[in-house]
Amino acid sequence: MFQKVHLRLTLLCTGITAVIMIVMSLCYLYVSETGLYRNQFQAFKNDINTISTNLEQQTVISMEWLSKMEAQGNYLFFVLDNGTPFLFNQLNDPDENAARDLLLQESKEAYTAQFPAEVGVKANAYSPLAHMEYDFFSPSRQSKYYGSYITMGTSNSVLEITVLSSLQKLEQQIYEQRFRFLLIDLAAVMLLGIFSWFFTGRLLRPIIENQEKQALFIASASHELRTPLSVILSAAECCRTAPPERQEGFLKTIWQEGLRVSSLVSDMLTLSQSDNHRFPVRMEPTELDTLLMNTYEAFEPLAQEKDIALSIRIPEGALPPCTADPARISQVLSILLHNAISYTPEHGKIRLSLTRQKDKFHLSVTDNGIGISDEDKKRIFDRFYRVEKSRSTKDHFGLGLSIAYEIVKAHGGSIQVSDAEGGGSCFTVVL
């Protein structure tokens, strides 16, 4: 499922970004090409002004001058002297002349379409020099042209000059620019796809991990609930058919297993609150030494019952209060002490201690039991994780240390486990 979501998010991110980039590229190309055409047209008009000035200054238009102008400016000249084609226009081979005539016809059609008011207005010997610039597309040559129609009256003739400038070089430049942008866009889309794949993967990773944790949590909870429920159902069935003198034993079993289920459900609800960021923590100034003493007094009878020596070590001087939730910290200490008592053999020792180092409070629970392996230390705070069977009991579901971890994390502190001197384990809470 997540693979499909990953792929769809990648395509969505890539597609949206690619569309935005392509639109921006098209806008840039439009502005750039419009500017190139405008600048080219302005340059053409400037050249026409120069040509017109030269024409006014010349008494005779020579074929040498026309050839030179065509060669220098990549122009085509069509000259009519009193309506008669100038000899210059007939010096090429017949095929070239036919192609030039067709181009001239296309130019006239474009001029007529763009300047209909000027059609039919004939120049005379007294007409001043005038010129009109226009643009058109030549179907015969599949290229765009700029054209200028120049009229000038002299003492004995009327000159009509059509000057055409091919935009083939400019169009080639534009095509090359478009091709470069196409390659850049394709490369950018590929990079965007790769980036989006890794980016969406990182975004989905916490969701996937949370889903996996939830699935594992549900599977583990179902497994842990199955045993006491089976016992309850079996005891209830036996109680239904057993004689009255044996029913009390079955009822006691049902009650004990019901307490186990209730404890498990309570722990799961606590962890659920932590997952939903609704973990209730009421911070207030807390006397940790007093809190440790109360916890010690509460667990001392239980330790004595298992013949375990429970001791406490707190600083002699007065300590400043610590901002914490006393009920939650007491819960953490109870979890650690309960585990220590459960996993410490008879005649063992457990020490509850409090120290202050660099404005940090260190609360420790140390036992001299069999200890915890380095591999187990990495997962000791995972939910439903329990170490080897020698350290597991029926009364522990593997949630206590997870709850302690979440409580300490909600306080902005840390909890860690290490090997105790002489064997055993030491759990340290830093607040």
Q: What is the pLDDT of residue 391?
A: 43
The answer as to whether 354 is a domain residue is yes
Q: What is the pLDDT of residue 221?
A: 67
pLDDT band per the 50, 70, 90 thresholds, residue 392: very low
**Residue 217, φ and ψ in degrees, nearest 5:** -60, -45
Cβ count near 44 (within 10 Å): 22
Residue 119: CA atoms inside 13 Å, Cβ hemisphere, count?
A: 9
The answer as to whether 168 is a domain residue is yes
Q: Say if residue 164 is in the same domain as residue 291.
A: no
The last residue of one of the domains, among 115, 141, 174, is: 174
Q: What is the pLDDT of residue 397?
A: 58
The total number of structural domains in the chain stands at 2
Is a pLDDT exceeding 70 seen at residue 254?
A: yes
Alpha helices in 149-287 (DSSP H): 168-241, 244-275
The answer as to whether 124 is a domain residue is yes
**Helices 2-57 and 168-241, packing angle to 10 deg:** 170
The answer as to whether 187 is a domain residue is no
CATH number at residue 374: 3.30.565.10
CATH number at residue 56: 3.30.450
Check residues 429 and 201 and name the one with the higher pLDDT.
Answer: 429
Q: Say if residue 306 is in the same domain as residue 158.
A: no
* Distance separating alpha carbons of residues 381 and 401, to the nearest angstrom: 5
The answer as to whether 135 is a domain residue is yes
Q: Say if residue 170 is in the same domain as residue 288.
A: no
The answer as to whether 128 is a domain residue is yes
Mean pLDDT along residues 309-329 = 88
Q: Say if residue 155 is in the same domain as residue 24.
A: yes
Q: Say if residue 296 is in the same domain as residue 421.
A: yes
Cβ count near 106 (within 10 Å): 19
Domain span holding position 7: 2-174
Q: What is the pLDDT of residue 85?
A: 77
Q: Say if residue 158 is in the same domain as residue 301.
A: no
The last residue of one of the domains, among 140, 174, 208, is: 174
The last residue of one of the domains, among 174, 203, 224, is: 174
**0.85 exceeded by the pTM?**
no
Q: What is the pLDDT of residue 344?
A: 85
In this structure, what token pair is assigned to residue 292?
Answer: 């440790």
* Distance separating alpha carbons of residues 118 and 382, to the nearest angstrom: 91
The answer as to whether 68 is a domain residue is yes
Mean pLDDT along residues 130-157 = 86
Q: What is the pLDDT of residue 316?
A: 82
Opening angle at CA 186, ends 182 and 190, nearest 5: 170
Q: What is the pLDDT of residue 126?
A: 57
pLDDT band per the 50, 70, 90 thresholds, residue 390: very low
pLDDT band per the 50, 70, 90 thresholds, residue 366: very high
The answer as to whether 199 is a domain residue is no
